[in-house]
Structure 1
Amino acid sequence: NREKMITEFENPYILLLDQKVSTVQPLVPVLEAVAHTGKPLVLIADDVDGEALTALILNNLKGSIKVVAVKAPGFGDRKKEMLEDIAILTNGEVITEQLGIKLEKV
């Protein structure tokens, strides 16, 4: 909803990343898997820009996948804590290289 600046999805996949995403390559397997399900994707990351943002916008416009990218709330350690809180509320896990979890392995 552009007037209210909100996005509403029914039962979306939620991808939580504690890193910046600038290239599309790490996202490709996730986007392909989600596209096959027909479900929308909410991507919450440190930041999404460049080639990755362009690819998300184009896929959304083409109707290949419904996706919204959200900048993770907070700063520094507080940001990490907020992502972990979101993970708890969504019964998920934050993808973080500090714990040895890589986006390519999701």
Structure 2
Amino acid sequence: IEARVALIKKQIEDTTSDYDREKLQERLAKLAGGVALIKVGEATEAAMKEKKDRVDDALHATRAAVEEGIVPGGGVAYLRAQKAIDALKLEGDEKV
């Protein structure tokens, strides 16, 4: 992930197109964990309102989890912690 972020930063520096620079900056923000876009659609207005409310509830629950210390993007956190995890000398039940 870090290598891809570095590559995108280099592409931003090298590009002469404002459009490409804007798109690369958006991609960088998304990859770095700064932005998410959720599109909600349904067949009827009532169904769409209900689905939007569910998404809104999930968003608030996610924000609360982040504030209380739950790691966002647990897979990325695991990858970043892998070297430290591999260096641990564990025995018995600790290995599990």
Q: Larger % of helix: which?
A: 2
TM-score with structure 2 setting the length: 0.21
TM-score with structure 1 setting the length: 0.20
The structure having more radius of gyration, on CA atoms, is 2
